[in-house]
Structure 1
């Protein structure tokens, strides 16, 4: 790659500017190698000895010199143009480079004063990297300027676009590694060009960094022809500009010319759109940088190729402490950067290096957008009480809870048209949130036909049939100081399991970093859930995301299962106001019974768990049994079971407990919301049977309560992987969470009922048989099931429901 080629010609760098730029790059590379290898002798002012080398060598060199090269050139552009710029790094395993860059521009020492700009600070900088008690090897939350850890690949572009939305003055340089470019999430995120409004949004400048290899294999995009790569990028909506080669001086000139050209194009696009003269979707520039993997490192070690090959991906050679030959290679490599020209006698970067960066918040490592809590402002919130559903009697009515929520979110949106967005993979209307379109449209900057519904360049509902891209956009939006709301079909939120992992880990880590400011919580609404996917069948039935979420640190996760619309409103208001959490709300979109007035719902949601007196018969006495529930359909079935039981056994002392905040079940020593044992025992008793109807997989309830005094008496019914295209009630029966099976379970667990329960059990079994025959003959549930309301009298009542308001299903 010695011959440098470039789409854009010109040599814009004057000799002095070129010399200074190259010196900064050499300094960053020197610091990067030192972090990977050294724990002493940071400036090589004595011969390199075994004790100067770390005993365990960890980190990634291969992508780092390219990242340092880009950082230096972006610094130059920021200073020349007074840009507000962020640096999002897809190959975030190039962590030593970003730490080195933040150190050279002074930010690192500002937030970590112990890492001073002198020889002692250098020693500590090197020592801490990938070292016990130090910092991770990736561009982690500890790294100033980062919003993107990069250890898991695929999210650089979606994070970058999320940062750019509603930030009209911001340019986000997003480096996409060539291995990362092979991932599904990254492939879909190129389409973000169709969702950017050049009038009100910032710009993303993607830089596809092709260095040829992954850990041990070639990368796909580095092995296709220039013509094929050009066609691919143009198909995504970009104008690609290629810079290719390895000679430092010529690469500096070529890249400087290309970067200037791209930034000029971005300015022209934005000025054209903002002046009203340009209305068509622009073709945004992007850069393809081809440079050797492990650029400027050893060409060979032990006769084996290193630079420009996969061997440079991580630590190019691993025996520098014990092997004298390897240690000589390391010392020669580091001295090739001429550190004596880069650092003065005190170990401080010399002036020409120290000054090659912008000042203050213009430094990419000090951008307030990369510490979004500094910019975060509270949402202007309507009073959620104004959207209350009237409840004349508990367990009556037929309301689509998420439709009620949609009215509330509409007015949240109307009051926060620059800081709040909604995200959904083509499901916003299906999830009954379409009222938001009364104040905004779906974001769309591709072709719009006259008969299209609510599409506009300036829409604020982000819909793309990629859960990954929606999640990435939202994360980028939140981490740069804004607010958002993500609704999704429950079964398919699993597509972002790993992205959720990374975000939860980010929040947990930043909780312990004093200079990181809290950001708005990531709020999920999971609807179209397992118990109302009867029309789609088995493929759409999976409540397991909750199980996945509760694996994370209790400090950052919250799970809510509101049983009705008023409780949902109270929970949603709380979640939208919260900081530094991942909030998971599970609520149905189909017409469902309502239980609590708004005042009651607020009290219940605030407690997170409580006895529903109107559904209980113990009336202050010791109960015979406790019926617990969490989730809208389990709550209805549990109530129906108690209705049946009261009819059969009028003297049964039954306590009904509903759970909104799932983490209340866990001990308070395990989760901040957990109930103390005394409170838990007061609700569920120390020795009475508990029949618990749960929305998801039943073993999660056992996991949360296994330390409780009465755990051996807790019997949970939930989803157990039985499902098909059938009726709503038949889904409950198939998983034995229906009212009849719940009632029989109570009978079997209460000793004094067993001797007199023969007729009741026969009746309940007969009802199950009747149900089975009816649904397979008529294709719908029994009339008394469809029209059931809570009566507290033991018999069915008739409910006349409004016709279901249909919406597209997916």
Structure 2
């Protein structure tokens, strides 16, 4: 593509193209003298200093103030980083600083273009937040040398925002959820404003597209506000952005439709005045909306403010390189001068570029920023964007009721979710400002609706829910729920995400990004532990037979198993009492990803409250009531992991008592999946000796597992004598059928379990061996007869899920 074609600047604003109504919402400010000369000079000095440091971080390992000509030895061996977004990020940072210093605003800064780390790190160094948390990064020449030389170098700062970045509450690796994280952060933080920069490349993602609706779930009486700034610089890595080819009328129409007031800032000669005026306008609008709500006269469907900031890509960087336009094109996206170490021309261009900022006017000979640069920075440390306590203080404990008070009677039948719903109702009552449920429109379907007896939904555009203080956020976007949950959790509170099992995988990568943030945060001395991400996975494949194959997918378990073991927890409580114990524990846990898998349908309550407590503490136990001679000296060990598949194990044990009374069966249930991992590989893993006491050292073991068999086999890797293990689980077989047919299709039925038990027991028990073939043939025949009945009658036998009896 010719340089002239790729380098067209962003289209200039054309107020004449806007309708009269839209013009009122998208005023092109004419504020040439909005800032005093002193303020303007201070803001611009800060910007120049921040941009200089950001550019130097990408290229230099020495000569960091360019006090002499740059040589090849001054250039890093690998040039990594993203320059194109940095000038816009430092621009917003500078103006936030000015407003905070002037007004005392409580603000966090979240950036969607996470690879713009040089911009944020440079600003953190200027405001001296780096040295607060990283004492060796001092605000002098020695600290500046360390900051610049260590960026994107082994052992140094990564090229994107992460938990090592002071002030960050957002992992900057994956695009798309900065906006929803920002909304989660301000919920129940009434004085907080999160300024969220959304890159125009990021704005193309699905998670961002839906997150714009989050204003409809924000109650201005109880929560803070998000000020979104869409940074339209026109290009992604090598292509124009969608927003970059939209004119002002199109962008204004779009966001007006979402429910926003839009201000467009694009006048480059007057950029600082326009942005200053627009940000103060936005904060005034926020204040107006909040004041009305908090005085009891809320504005119905308030139009929250937002800003569209148009600047050329890589503003202030090289204009041309080798005849191609760089500033204002995709060539500015990453490293504008990639051959600076080996090319004299590019090295000369780098030197000219860096010296254009006039660093000698911005830093003293000792490397300290000048008074003019410092004059825009907040004077109170706690107000600085890099030192906001919300970003690092961690988990604030919540009050959880005694779960045993909500336990159900042993021997009865109860839905795990209904029991948990009653428990969560009290959690809501006891924690009216520090606990929320983020649910993708499935709370009632998942039988957790007892919560709604104590609270409502927080959907501010619905008159029935508006201004009621509801603790439930229901939006049919898993991405937005996940982002809000992360923002809420990383700023100290506790949340819960219940979901249909099959669709929780939609947020798999977001969950992984959170786990990476937590991992790095736990290795960062100054960050305190934060709350856990708590998922309840229900409407599982075993009882989604009516919705069909699309709703049958337990793959999210595997995603959590792939996390760093220290941070991963997977629980499959077998009944309502065990689930109560588990959810109570998870809501108080820190730094984990907690996945709880259970049924919403009524199932047997196998254990009393006291038995459930002991079982959950141990993570697994022998269920003596279903075992022969209480499990002593077994021929085979049958293991259930998951509600419905455990039922089939119990049913198989009862069936075997009648068909093969000479077979000695031990039944084990596992509620904490991680105990199976090889000894020492997970904090919960059983020692080899403990593993032996549960599963013997030489008897056949058959696992009936809720998830994919490969997951369990991988988890067991490293345990001794694995050739005696067989695993059944979800085998990617399903359709619209009956519940028991789902068991038959995936070979997890009682007949399949009984066949595995007889085959395993026959290896050590001669009495079983002599009738093994006959018994297994009979059981296969029975399974076939069940299938024929289901196909002929369209349903299971009425008694198929009656609680098995052991005589």
Of 620-629 and 636-645, the range deviating more from structure 2: 620-629
- The yes-or-no answer on 1:701 pairing with 2:723 is no
Query: Could you tell me which residue of structure 1 aligns to residue 328 of structure 2?
Result: 308
Change in Cα spacing, 1:422 to 1:82, as seen in structure 2 (3 Å) is same
| Whole-Å separation in 1 of the counterparts to 2:41 and 2:487 | 36
Following superposition, the deviation at residue 620 of structure 1 comes to 6.3
Q: CA deviation at 1:486?
A: 0.5
Q: 1:540 aligns with which of 551, 558, 563?
A: 551
CA offset at residue 357 of structure 1? 1.0
Aligned to 1:478: 489
- State which of 779, 783, 786 in structure 1 corresponds to 2:798: 783
Matched, 1:792 2:806: yes
Partner residue of 1:404 out of 399, 419, 427:
419
Q: With the length of structure 1 as denominator, give the TM-score of the two structures.
A: 0.95
- 1:53 is aligned, of 75, 79, 82, to 75
Partner-residue secondary structure (3-state), 1:651: coil
User: Which residue is 1:426 aligned to?
Assistant: 441
Q: Does 1:363 align with 2:374?
A: no
Instruction: Please name the residue that 2:129 is paired with.
Output: 107
Residue 339 (structure 1) aligned to one of 341, 359, 363: 359
> Which of 350, 372, 377 matches 1:330?
350
User: Which residue of 2 is the match for residue 659 of structure 1?
Assistant: 670
**What is the correspondence of 1:163-174 to structure 2 with a 5 Å cutoff?**
163-174=185-196
Structure 1 Cα separation of the partners of residues 459 and 78 of structure 2 = 50
Q: CA deviation at 1:763?
A: 3.2
Measured in 2, the distance between the counterparts of 1:145 and 1:303 equals: 40
What is the CA-CA distance between 1:302 and the residue it aligns to? 1.1
**768-777 or 127-136, which deviates more:** 768-777
Residue 294, structure 1, aligned to residue 314, structure 2: yes
> Structure 2 length as normaliser, TM-score?
0.95
- Give the equivalent residue in structure 1 for 2:429: 414
Matched residue, 2:29: 8
Matching residue within 764, 769, 773 for 2:779: 764
- Tell me whether 1:634 sits opposite 2:645 in the alignment: yes
Question: Is residue 2:411 matched to residue 1:383?
Answer: no
Asked whether the equivalents of residues 442 and 460 of structure 1 are also in contact (C-alpha less than 8 Å), the reply is yes
Offset at residue 758 of structure 1 (A): 4.5
For 1:593 and 1:334, locate their aligned partners in 2 and report how far apart those are by CA, in whole Å.
71
Residues 228-249 of structure 1: per-residue CA shift (max 9 Å, x gap):
11110001110100011333xx
Report the CA distance between 1:127 and its aligned residue.
Answer: 1.1
Task: Structure 1: give runs of 5+ residues left out of the alignment.
Answer: 794-810
| Superposed CA offset, 1:670-717 (max 9, x none) | 111111111112211221111110001111111111211121111001
Question: Do residues 581 (structure 1) and 601 (structure 2) align?
Answer: no
Tell me the distance in 2 between the aligned counterparts of 1:638 and 1:620. Answer: 14
Cα pair 1:118 1:346 within 8 Å, conserved: yes
Cα pair 1:8 1:261 within 8 Å, conserved: no
2-structure distance, mates of 1:258, 1:761: 77
Of 448, 451, 473, the residue aligned with 1:462 is 473
Q: 2:339 aligns to what? A: 319
What is aligned with 2:24? none
Q: Using the TM superposition, give the Cα deviation of residue 116 of structure 1 relative to its aligned residue in structure 2, in angstroms.
A: 1.2
Gap runs ≥5 in structure 2 = 1-8, 15-26
1:145 paired residue number: 167
Following superposition, the deviation at residue 759 of structure 1 comes to: 4.3
> In the alignment, does 2:145 pair up with 1:123?
yes
Distance 1:509 1:770 in 2: 55
CA distance in 2, matches of 1:769, 1:171: 63
* Cα shift at 1:277: 2.5
User: Could you tell me how far apart the structure 1 residues matched to 2:552 and 2:202 are?
Assistant: 31
Is 1:33 the counterpart of 2:55 in the alignment? yes
Q: Deviations over 1:21-80 (max 9, x none)?
A: 100000000110111100001111122111111010000000001000010011111111
Structure 1 residue 456: Cα displacement: 5.5
Aligned to 2:528: 517
Q: Quick one: distance in 1 between partners of 2:471 and 2:532?
A: 19
2:648, 2:750 within 8 Å by CA — same for their partners in 1? yes
| 1:590 Cα deviation from its structure 2 partner | 0.4
Q: What secondary structure does 1:774 align onto?
A: helix
What displacement does 1:371 show? 1.5
Equivalenced residues, count: 780
Give how far 1:668 is off.
2.9
> SS of the residue aligned with 1:443?
coil
Please tell me whether the aligned partners of residues 42 and 375 of structure 2 are also in contact (alpha carbons under 8 angstroms). Answer: no
Q: Which moved more, 1:314-323 or 1:749-758?
A: 749-758
Matched, 1:212 2:234: yes
Deviation readout 1:423-453 (Å, 9 max, x if unpaired):
11000111111111111101111143xxx6x
CA-CA distance at 1:276 after TM superposition: 1.8
Alignment of 1:674 onto 2:685: yes
Residues in 1 aligned to 2:531 and 2:543: alpha-carbon distance in whole angstroms: 31
Per the alignment, in what secondary structure is the counterpart of residue 702 of structure 1? helix
Counterpart in 1 of 2:206?
184
**Residue 170 of structure 2 contacts residue 181 of structure 2 at CA under 8 Å; is this kept in 1?**
yes
RMSD: 1.4
Q: Hey, what's the Cα distance between the residues in 2 that align with 1:571 and 1:19?
A: 58
